[in-house]
């Protein structure tokens, strides 16, 4: 699974597919998210990765960046 597909999975599972809600929560423009998960499939910047993990503290950094382990951190 690519990092773009992992972002898409986060959006589908945690935001019911609402890219705009995800973008607002993370604090980036919706076009930034569309560039990552849309047809362009651009790589997310460090800032977008950081903001995603900061805004969604339960998402595993290892899973989002390296696809190691599970999406949600175990408590």
**For the segment 33-70, what is each residue's pLDDT rounded down to a tens digit?**
999 999 999 999 999 999 999 998 899 999 999 999 99
Render pLDDT for 3-13 as a digit per residue (tens, 0 to 9): 999 999 999 99
End-to-end alpha-carbon separation of the chain, Å?
A: 24
Q: Is the pTM of this model over 0.75?
A: yes
What's the angle, vertex CA 54, arms to CA 68 and CA 7, rounded to 5? Answer: 50
């Amino acid at each position: 699974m690519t990092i773009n597909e992992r972002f898409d999975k986060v959006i589908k599972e945690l935001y019911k597919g609402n890219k705009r809600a995800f973008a607002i929560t993370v604090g980036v423009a919706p076009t930034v998210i569309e560039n990552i998960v849309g047809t362009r499939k651009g790589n997310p910047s460090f800032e977008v990765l950081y903001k995603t993990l900061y805004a969604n503290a339960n998402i595993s950094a290892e899973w989002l960046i390296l696809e190691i382990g599970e999406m949600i951190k175990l408590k």
